[in-house]
Structure 1
Amino acid sequence: MAIHIVEEANRCLGCKRAFCQIKGCPVQTPIPQVIDLFKQRRLEEAGELLFQNNPMSAVCSMVCNHSGQCEGACIQGRKGTPVHFSSIENYISTAYLDRKEWKPAPSCGKQVAVVGSGPAGITVAIKMAQLGCAVTVFEQRPEIGGVLEYGIPEFRLPRALVQKYRHVMCSLGVRVRPSTTIGGALHIDDLLRDGYDAVFVGTGTWRARKLGIPGESRGNVLFGIDYLVDPSSVAIGQNVAVIGAGNVAMDVARTALRSGARKVTVYARSRHISAIDDEVELTELDGAEIVCGKAIYAIDDNGPVFETAIFDEDNNVVGYEEELDHVSADTVVIAASQVPKDKLVLTTGGLETDHRGLLSVDERGMTTVPGVFAAGDVVNGPLTVVHAVAGAKLAVEGMTSYLGL
């Protein structure tokens, strides 16, 4: 590994106008500077630069869409192979997390509540703690991490790495209240009453979007986002049908194959696959089949029932065949996107959403309730970890200004 990443680092041209950073990375990671520090064997400084720009750097090095972002924008890739910055970033970031001595910052006298401990919540908690705020993180599940812990499979993101962030936060003085739902016994109004000067909401999108078709409530049907929380709790069967073609669908398919399924088929409505290309390739490599042009019509006790699409020469769906396609499957998993749960909105006066149920925020990340900020999937809908971090950084800037820090 060390030889490989040194070779990759040496291939970097150190572009003054680095497309990998400017065009490729949603959080503008200073890739040339990081690589230069690495080549000088200044590992701690390189790690510090990565972490301060993106506390989730170690995670992003493993789960980002590198071929479509930093590495996809690398000028070396125009005529050959792009520099694999993900390998370099992973080596530096994981070493930095292991070696760094974390200490609380001097108090600034402000208290901040963070609701949800996914990538956006962790980013805000760390950033605000580093500014000297007394931060409390409220997490409805037993472990921190949100989608990192309960949505991304272990084979893609080791849980040990996720739990390192709890150590980082606690070492910075952050308090964590697990198994505590804001919108349940406690409301946002209670947080503001109890002296929190600002509240950040990063609760993600944990409600599966139902399709509204007959059969969704049958016993042989699961929702993808629910299945990934604890795959071992489900007898998935030998033959699995996955409805949807996004990243969650690919994670479901690969997890099912690792959970005893012998045949897994992913069904896409059109010929457009929304999942990351690398994830699609890995899904097929693992043994799943992807079938396009199948629009789910219903689900019966034997499996899904599809309408088969008719395509024109441009691969647009122009109609459907008259005969329905009845497919046999032990389990049908619906992975057709997610929306936020509505507990916070129902229990917080003045907290507004858009037509999709996503929280409305201004350019500073503040919601329609003064002092309450939000970012991540609960604002943008299901996107990637790095997009959640980008939104969280904007919210931190807004909170910093609001608190007068």
Structure 2
Amino acid sequence: MLNNLIEANKCLICKNARCQKNCPIDTPIPQIISLYKEGKYEEAGKILFENNPLSSICAIVCPHENQCRGFCIKGIKGEPVHFHDIEYEISTKYLENVKLQKPKQNGVKVAIVGSGPAGITVALNLALRGYSVTIFEKNEKIGGVLNYGIPSFRLPRFNIDLLEKRLKELGVKIKINSLIGPVITLNKLLEDGYKSIFIGTGVWNPRRLDIKGETFGHVHYAIDYLKSPNRYDLGNKVIVIGAGNVAMDAARTAKHFGSNEVYVAYRRGFEDMTATKHEVSEAKEEGVLFDLFKSPVEIVDEGIILEDTKKVLNENGSYSLVSLTDSRKLYECDSILVAISQLPKNTIVINNKGLDVKNGGLLLTDEFGQTTREGIYACGDVTNGAKTVIQAVVDGKKVCESMDKYLKQFII
């Protein structure tokens, strides 16, 4: 707390705060810091929660270097204000202590399919407006990527548990181990009286490398590994293919669970990685090694064959990546983790007619989250592909407004 007060005192309380302008959800950062300095923690927590119900989680997992911290004016000539640390303290205390009052019920039932960041946001906001909300979660815990995609040493599960507690206070019913699509269909939900359905099932199908040997026993997909890393025996030496945040999380988790040599192999350089600089830096600090400009060719029993790549400058000033086929080499390892993006599982689409998809199998919606079936909405990764948690919350708030307008016709 003392360190956070020092951080708060560094803030210039800018009138046209660049940090706030570059926050996807427009967190009123100068106002929050001012309240914090005055000791008005509950008031600050209420503002944060109403603006972003996942504030305590975003304070940890947001790419701050590209948002608030990256645009702090103090960072131009020195160290920027670490607002996210202040946000985490305020938001966590607020979630711990607040008692949400269940509003008067309007008798209208809503189904939330998937309880990731978008699903939780929509469920909370609709429940606060008096709707009878039921969450259908295919796993045994809510949270989606928060619980099954981000390592617990990076995101404490305590914060997700607090959100679940607040949901239940509002009367939200949570059905775990409930997969919507093959048995319980969207039509069945509508027949049972749900007036609208929100789909926020995320992207859980790993993208294949499509090279020989990918089905071998020592090859695993990172998104599957992160669900239950304690169940895997990866051995001493692991090679992770990919360079996004999932790849960094998988590499760090492998180190955490005892693999001594963990390498990230990527076909480009550090500057091209989609993982945040913070995530890459954390991985390096924890002993993860990097093999850059290496592209996978074939997986064999002893490991993986990689070939060198290099950037070539084109006449128009752009760069192309070319492979050097005479550079192929076997890199021995005990296990390989593939982390080159994810696609949505199409269970809902296959078993429910009327839901159109776009490229990559993502659900097609309009700008308000309305799918091609009336009364059925979607947002988050299932419509946009793997994005940030904060973007899912932003989209969830927008979709909630659309659903509320649609649902009002059923209120007697």
TM-score (norm 1): 0.97
Q: Which residue matches 1:376?
A: 380
* Consecutive aligned runs of 4 or more in structure 1 exceeding 4 Å deviation: 313-316
Q: Which residue matches 2:113?
A: 115
Pair 1:178 & 2:176 matched: yes
Is contact 1:365-1:395 (8 Å) kept?
A: yes
Shift of residue 171, structure 1, vs aligned partner: 0.6
| SS of 2:20 mapped into structure 1 | helix
Deviation string 1:177-208 (CA, Å, 9 cap, x unpaired) is 00000012101111111111111111000110
| SS of 1:298 mapped into structure 2 | strand
Letter in 2 for 1:392: G
Pair 1:292 & 2:292 matched: yes
Q: Which residue matches 2:159?
A: 161
Q: Which runs of 5+ in 1 are unaligned?
A: none
Q: 1: distance between equivalents of 2:304 and 2:132?
A: 51
- Greater displacement, 357-366 / 314-323: 314-323
Q: Map of 1:235-384 to 2, 5 A cutoff?
A: 235-271=233-269, 272-312=272-312, 316-384=320-388
Deviation string 1:26-76 (CA, Å, 9 cap, x unpaired) is 111111111122122111110010001100000011111111111101111
Shift of residue 377, structure 1, vs aligned partner: 0.6
| SS of 1:366 mapped into structure 2 | coil
Shift of residue 127, structure 1, vs aligned partner: 0.5
Q: 1: distance between equivalents of 2:321 and 2:126?
A: 49
Q: 2: distance between equivalents of 1:231 and 1:115?
A: 25
Q: 2: distance between equivalents of 1:132 and 1:404?
A: 11
Shift of residue 319, structure 1, vs aligned partner: 3.6
Pair 1:105 & 2:103 matched: yes
Deviation string 1:312-350 (CA, Å, 9 cap, x unpaired) is 468752342423111000000000100000000011111
| SS of 1:324 mapped into structure 2 | strand
Q: 2: distance between equivalents of 1:305 and 1:321?
A: 11
| SS of 2:280 mapped into structure 1 | helix
Pair 1:149 & 2:147 matched: yes
Q: Which residue matches 1:7?
A: 6
Q: For this pair of structures, how many residues does the alignment match?
A: 403
Closer, same or farther in 2 for the Cα pair 1:274/1:372, shift >3 Å? same
Letter in 2 for 1:334: V
Letter in 2 for 1:324: R
- Greater displacement, 184-193 / 315-324: 315-324
Match of 1:39 among 37, 40, 43: 37
Letter in 2 for 1:341: K
Letter in 2 for 1:66: H
Q: Which residue matches 1:21?
A: 20
Q: 1: distance between equivalents of 2:168 and 2:79?
A: 41
Is contact 1:310-1:321 (8 Å) kept?
A: no
Q: 2: distance between equivalents of 1:318 and 1:222?
A: 27
Q: Which runs of 5+ in 2 are unaligned?
A: none
| SS of 1:131 mapped into structure 2 | coil
| SS of 1:291 mapped into structure 2 | strand
Is contact 2:112-2:123 (8 Å) kept?
A: yes
Shift of residue 91, structure 1, vs aligned partner: 0.5
Is contact 1:311-1:319 (8 Å) kept?
A: no
Letter in 2 for 1:7: I
Q: 2: distance between equivalents of 1:161 and 1:204?
A: 20
Q: Which residue matches 2:407?
A: 403
Shift of residue 97, structure 1, vs aligned partner: 0.5
Is contact 1:141-1:179 (8 Å) kept?
A: yes
Shift of residue 307, structure 1, vs aligned partner: 1.8
Q: 2: distance between equivalents of 1:84 and 1:263?
A: 32
Q: Which residue matches 1:387?
A: 391
Q: 2: distance between equivalents of 1:90 and 1:323?
A: 48
Shift of residue 6, structure 1, vs aligned partner: 1.0
| SS of 1:197 mapped into structure 2 | strand
Deviation string 1:222-247 (CA, Å, 9 cap, x unpaired) is 00000000001111100000000000
